[in-house]
């Protein structure tokens, strides 16, 4: 059950992490949810919905809703009093600069921007968890956008557009990030450079070295002795 007080005088902003299933509940205040990482599935008054980094969702006061997060999902939540603009369930478009107002003290301004945002028409949810597992298991493959789109059951054109909305990058740039993340882990674990290169899809040790220096500013010696690689970008 949501613990936020129902008698909200001013909006309250928080960042919450969800994982697993959450039982249906409702509250007397409205909420605006904005996806930060991952995809949160919802059912609101019996209607399916979702939140990811491409959109926000307005949940009216009194609406019964439940969550499902298949992997860890981070969501910015603005709890607010019921008012015009929060009186119906709708998905909203996110302006390019909304993240700059994500500090708690900016909750009122952020709420005004989100509530005033255009409504997004219904669209299919792009689920990247399974795609990431498939790609990570075959990083040696020469992946194409068409193959990635097919795995997600999108046309290549629509896949490019939705992928950019959700991740902020082109699909093949995302694949390259995952290749380099894996290469860093393998090299830190002591795997020979040539072997690591072939495992993550580079034709030679020199090609991998060039990519690491160009994209990460890293050399092999640094990787052998430096801190663990950061987690790859999960959406």
Residues 71 and 95 in one domain: yes
Residues 85 and 108 in one domain: yes
Find the domain containing 165 and state its range.
129-225
Q: In a 3-state reduction of DSSP, which class is residue 119?
A: strand
Q: Tell me if 1 is assigned to some domain.
A: no
Residues contacting residue 169 through CB under 8 Å, at least 6 positions apart: 163, 177, 233
Distance of alpha carbon 52 from alpha carbon 18, whole angstroms: 12
Is pLDDT above 90 for 168?
no
Q: How large is the average pLDDT for residues 175-203?
A: 93
pLDDT at 118: 84
pLDDT at 229: 47
Q: Tell me if 75 is assigned to some domain.
A: yes
Distances in Å between the alpha carbon of 20 and those of 90, 164, 235?
23, 26, 16
Check residues 97 and 153 and name the one with the higher pLDDT.
153
Following CA atoms 30, 103, 109, 113 in sequence, which dihedral angle do they give, to the nearest 10 degrees? Answer: -70
The pLDDT tens digits of the residues spanning 51-63 come to 988 888 999 999 9
Q: What is the pairing mode between strands 65-80 and 40-44?
A: antiparallel
- Which pTM does this prediction carry? 0.62
pLDDT at 231: 46
Domain boundary among 64, 89, 115: 115
Q: Tell me if 233 is assigned to some domain.
A: no
Are the C-beta atoms of 171 and 163 separated by less than 8 Å?
yes
Residues 145 and 94 in one domain: no
């Amino acid at each position: 059950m949501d613990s936020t007080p129902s008698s909200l005088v001013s909006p309250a902003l928080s960042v919450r992490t969800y994982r697993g299933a959450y039982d249906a509940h409702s509250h007397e205040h409205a909420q605006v949810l904005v996806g930060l990482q991952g995809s949160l599935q919802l059912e609101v008054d019996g209607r399916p919905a979702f939140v990811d980094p491409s959109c926000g969702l307005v949940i009216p006061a009194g609406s019964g809703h439940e969550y499902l997060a298949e992997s860890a999902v981070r969501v910015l939540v603005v709890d607010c009093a019921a008012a015009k603009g929060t009186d119906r369930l709708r998905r909203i478009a996110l302006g390019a600069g909304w993240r700059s107002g994500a500090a708690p003290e900016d909750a009122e301004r952020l709420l005004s921007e989100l509530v005033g945002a255009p409504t997004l028409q219904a669209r299919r949810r792009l689920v990247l968890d399974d795609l990431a597992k498939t790609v990570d298991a075959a990083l040696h493959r020469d992946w194409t956008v068409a193959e990635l789109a097919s795995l997600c059951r999108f046309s290549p054109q629509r896949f490019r557009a939705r992928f950019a909305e959700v991740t902020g990058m082109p699909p093949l740039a995302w694949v390259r990030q995952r290749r380099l993340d894996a290469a860093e882990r393998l090299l830190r674990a002591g795997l020979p450079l040539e072997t690591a290169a072939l495992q993550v899809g580079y034709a030679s040790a020199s090609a991998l070295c060039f990519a690491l220096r160009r994209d990460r500013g890293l050399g092999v010696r640094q990787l052998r002795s430096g801190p663990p690689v950061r987690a790859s970008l999960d959406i």
